[in-house]
């Protein structure tokens, strides 16, 4: 098993990232280490330049994100933790795959449509080709499994399409004319619950770093008072909670808060509802706030300590980058060769 996944260092780690992806990263890191496999987790800093950004903020956020991931349980001795910039093979492979990726495939990406909005002419070329870099990120390491939240599923399917077409078109042929694959087809691993955590202000849009309102998300760096305040002000409805999940249909905000509770408590939505059936949000919100504070406080304390030590954070990235470069080299070489590009 080879696990690969990434996160953009464009701001704070929030509850959506944690429940949708990072918690799974930690779980899979241990499983994979026990089975002799390898996990690689990286900061997608090259992806971050596809949108307008402030260079000094990107550098600071990259280090903060390393501290946040380690505080969540990513262990740099068990996993390879690095930023894309340290492994030029990501950008090289993106170019090599650009001859295989089709305009039509990229045009269908919902994230491209959402982020470019009506201003496609003014969007960066990087925003359009972003999913090709994402495909390179995982194909470069022959990833077998990619733990992500629901919103990345389409990008992963594209990576599989690119890998399949490349293997068919350029995989070296054996004596029977069968193409040997250059790339492994990666599988997305999406958690059964909280795969899509929604905004606290609007149950129809996902919790996101780019939402201008900080009240829309719980950051892993929020202190106890901030968390309690955000949960208290979260949008809800005047109904009481039903006895089973079916009763939450059409109640996006209520379903989101109950889903967060279930994911944090490690139980099913029905179990949460069995406990709170007939109660209103006046009773549910303080219980949710306290659960969040209890679970996030240790992460928060660890993050505050780690973020002080810039030299240690840089050392983690440097060591991870070196290991990742070594793992990337054979696939990059095989890709150049399959394409007939002579490296001398
Ligand atoms: P990013 O930085 O937006 O998010 C990182 C991870 O968090 C998940 N996530 C969520 N899950 C549930 N609910 C939410 N509201 C929520 N918001 C974010 C995302 O699904 C993701 O798993 N393009 C990627 C980064 C990337 C990548 C890769 C991921 C670059 N290369 C290769 C996997 C493999 C992104 O912008 O994620």
- What HEC string does the chain produce? CEEEEEECCCCCCEHHHHHHHHHHHHHHHHHHHHCCCEEEEEECHHHHCCCCCCHHHHHHHHHHHHHHHHHHCCCCCCEEEEEHHHCCHHHHHHHHHHCCCCHHHHHCCHHHHHHHCCCHHHCCHHHHHHHHHHHHHHHCCCCCEEECCHHHHHHHHHHHHHHHHHHHHHCCECCCCCECCCCCCCEEECCCCCCCCECCCCCCCECCCCCCCHHHCCECCCCHHHHHHHHHHCCCCCCCCCCCHHHHCCCHHHHHHHHHHHHHHCCCHHHHHHHHCCCCHHHHHHHHHHHHHHHHHHHHHHHHHHCCCHHHHHHHHHHHHHHHHHHHHHHHHHHHHHCCCCCC
The phi and psi torsions of 115 (rounded to 5 degrees) equal -75, -35
Name the residue with the closest Cα to ligand 1, atom 7.
Answer: 17
Residues with pLDDT less than 50, the chain? none
Task: Please indicate whether residue 148, judged by its CB atom, sits closer than 6 Å to ligand 1.
Answer: yes
Pocket probe mutation, ligand 1, options 149, 154, 188, 204, max atoms within 8 Å of Cβ: 149
Name the residue with the closest Cα to ligand 1, atom 27.
Answer: 6
Closest atom of ligand 1 to 130 CA is 23
Longest dimension (CA), the chain: 73
pLDDT at position 320: 98
pTM given for the model: 0.96
Selected from 3.30.830.10, 3.40.190.10, 3.40.50.720, 3.40.50.620, the CATH number assigned to the domain covering 2-195+310-339 reads 3.40.50.620
Closest atom of ligand 1 to 155 CA is 23
Pocket probe mutation, ligand 1, options 20, 43, 45, 127, max atoms within 8 Å of Cβ: 20
Pocket probe mutation, ligand 1, options 42, 74, 87, 151, max atoms within 8 Å of Cβ: 151
Nearest to 254 by CA among 265, 271, 239: 239
Q: Cα–Cα distance between 294 and 286 in angstroms, integer? A: 12
Task: Please indicate whether residue 50, judged by its CB atom, sits closer than 6 Å to ligand 1.
Answer: no
pLDDT at position 91: 98
Nearest to 198 by CA among 257, 268, 241, 249: 257
* Intervals of CATH 3.40.50.620 along the chain: 2-195+310-339
Active site residues: 115, 206, 209
Using CA atoms, how far residue 31 sits from 2, 28, 133, 264, in Å, is: 11, 5, 27, 20
How far does the centroid of ligand 1 lie from the alpha carbon of residue 118, in Å? 23
Looking at the domain that runs over 214-306, which CATH code has it been given? 1.10.240.10
How far does the centroid of ligand 1 lie from the alpha carbon of residue 75, in Å? 19
The residues facing 81 across adjacent strands are: 41
Q: Cα–Cα distance between 257 and 155 in angstroms, integer? A: 27
Asked if residues 147 and 30 have their Cβ atoms less than 8 Å apart, the reply is: no
Name the residue with the closest Cα to ligand 1, atom 9.
Answer: 17
Q: What separation, in Å, do the N-terminal and C-terminal C-alpha atoms of the chain show? A: 33
pLDDT at position 174: 84
How far does the centroid of ligand 1 lie from the alpha carbon of residue 37, in Å? 23
How far does the centroid of ligand 1 lie from the alpha carbon of residue 296, in Å? 20
Asked if residues 186 and 156 have their Cβ atoms less than 8 Å apart, the reply is: yes
Task: Please indicate whether residue 79, judged by its CB atom, sits closer than 6 Å to ligand 1.
Answer: no
Asked if residues 147 and 21 have their Cβ atoms less than 8 Å apart, the reply is: yes
Q: Cα–Cα distance between 240 and 309 in angstroms, integer? A: 47
How far does the centroid of ligand 1 lie from the alpha carbon of residue 225, in Å? 27
> Mutual orientation of helices 125-139 and 89-98 as an angle, nearest 10°?
110
The phi and psi torsions of 5 (rounded to 5 degrees) equal -160, 165
Task: Please indicate whether residue 76, judged by its CB atom, sits closer than 6 Å to ligand 1.
Answer: no
How far does the centroid of ligand 1 lie from the alpha carbon of residue 133, in Å? 14
Burial class from Cβ neighbours inside 10 Å (0-12, 13-18, 19+) for residue 138 reads: buried
Task: Please indicate whether residue 136, judged by its CB atom, sits closer than 6 Å to ligand 1.
Answer: no
**Could you tell me if residue 124 is left (phi over 0), alpha (psi between -120 and 50 degrees) or otherwise beta?**
beta
Task: Please indicate whether residue 139, judged by its CB atom, sits closer than 6 Å to ligand 1.
Answer: no
Task: Please indicate whether residue 147, judged by its CB atom, sits closer than 6 Å to ligand 1.
Answer: no
pLDDT at position 62: 97
How far does the centroid of ligand 1 lie from the alpha carbon of residue 17, in Å? 7
* Intervals of CATH 1.10.240.10 along the chain: 214-306
């Amino acid at each position: 098993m080879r696990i690969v996944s990434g996160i953009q260092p464009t701001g704070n780690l929030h509850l959506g990232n944690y429940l949708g992806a990072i918690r799974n990263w930690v779980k899979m890191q241990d499983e994979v280490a026990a089975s002799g496999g390898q996990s690689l987790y990286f900061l997608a800093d090259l992806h971050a330049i596809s949108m307008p950004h402030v260079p000094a903020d990107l550098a600071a956020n990259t280090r903060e994100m390393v501290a946040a991931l380690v505080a969540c349980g990513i262990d740099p001795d068990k996993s390879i933790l690095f930023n894309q910039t340290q492994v030029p093979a990501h950008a090289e492979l993106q170019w090599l795959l650009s001859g295989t990726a089709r305009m039509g495939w990229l045009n269908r990406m919902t994230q491209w449509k959402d982020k470019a909005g009506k201003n496609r002419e003014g969007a960066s070329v990087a925003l359009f080709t972003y999913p090709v870099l994402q495909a390179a990120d995982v194909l470069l390491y022959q990833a077998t499994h990619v733990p992500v939240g629901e919103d990345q599923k389409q990008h992963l399917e594209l990576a599989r399409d690119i890998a399949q077409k490349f293997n068919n078109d350029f995989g070296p042929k054996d004596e029977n004319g069968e193409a040997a694959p250059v790339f492994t087809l990666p599988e997305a691993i999406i958690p059964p619950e909280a795969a899509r955590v929604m905004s606290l202000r609007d149950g129809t849009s996902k919790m996101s770093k780019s939402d201008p309102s900080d009240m829309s998300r719980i950051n892993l760096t929020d202190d106890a008072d901030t968390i309690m305040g955000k949960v208290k002000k979260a949008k809800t409805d005047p109904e009481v909670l039903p006895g089973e999940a079916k009763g939450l249909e059409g109640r996006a905000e209520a379903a989101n808060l109950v889903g967060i509770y279930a994911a944090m408590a490690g139980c099913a939505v029905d179990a949460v509802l069995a406990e709170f059936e007939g109660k209103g949000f006046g009773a549910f919100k303080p219980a949710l706030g306290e659960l969040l504070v209890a679970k996030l406080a240790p992460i928060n304390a660890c993050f505050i300590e780690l973020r002080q030590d810039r030299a240690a954070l840089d050392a983690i990235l440097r060591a991870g980058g070196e290991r990742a470069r070594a793992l990337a080299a054979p696939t990059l070489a095989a890709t150049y060769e399959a394409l007939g590009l002579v490296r001398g």
